[in-house]
Amino acid sequence: MKASGLPLEGRTAVVTGASRGIGAATARALAAAGARVALVSRHADDPAAVLPGAPGANLAIAADLAEAEECERVVEEAVSAFGRVDILVNNAATAARLPVTATPTAVIDRILAVNVRAPLVLVGAVVPHMADRGGGCIINVTSVSGLVGTPRRAAYAASKGALDAATRSLAIELGPLGIRVNAVAPGVVDTAMWSSNKQVPGVVEAVNALTPLGRWAQPEDIADVIVFLASDGARFVTGETISVDGGMARTMDLYSGDV
């Protein structure tokens, strides 16, 4: 802990997909813990819109992470602005809920580019800066879909399973550099990604019934675990995928029926 009581005081973080949902909640939680935050999204929104009242010089970076060179530019801009990057949160993702027979190749390619290639390129770009400072923390946001079979999400599930596997490999590779790598795997989170499904009669009740804690996750539920993993409280934790899903993945068949 720092003298101020803020566990991440003096540290800097890059959060992708930071304009809404889990990303925005994570940016707010990191800032509340004392970190300066670079908010990465496809539109460079005013940081104050996501972080109202947050102290410090936060930064917004516009980037389409489906383009590999954009990932490298994100890290360059963050290092230029902050002088360092201590925490990388790979949250940006895209998804499609389609039968495999009706999933266009272009959709598969974009899912893999954003959900798998972009995190790996970002990690490759940020590691030299972290290593120069003696360490850092990388947190990948994956999904229950990478752990439990979910229908009509094969490409998305493949991308999240790949990121879980990469988390374990990176933990081995980067541990000697003092860099910890972990993942969090949310279940059903009350964000825009689920807004249309939520309007289908019975879906809310069905998800509640499949979740031992009996409710949908809020973005803050995920963000608080990310802050823990970024903090010294998790200083000896690496290579883990932590399910933050109310017990869903470990207790029952997810999405039985048409949820």
The pLDDT score that the predictor gives to residue 252 is 57
Query: Any catalytic annotation for residue 255?
Result: no
CATH 3.40.50.720 fits 12-247, yes or no: yes
Integer Cα distance of 148 and 108 in angstroms: 19
Question: Tens-of-pLDDT digits for all 259 residues of the chain?
Answer: 345 689 999 999 999 999 999 999 999 999 999 999 999 999 866 676 788 766 667 999 999 999 999 999 999 999 999 999 999 999 999 999 899 999 999 999 999 999 999 999 999 999 999 999 999 999 999 999 999 888 899 999 999 999 999 999 999 999 999 999 999 999 988 887 777 777 788 888 888 888 889 888 999 999 999 999 999 999 999 999 999 999 888 875 545 545 4
> What pLDDT is attached to residue 77?
96
Q: Among the options 91, 137, 156, 245, which is catalytic? A: 156
End-to-end CA distance of the chain: 43
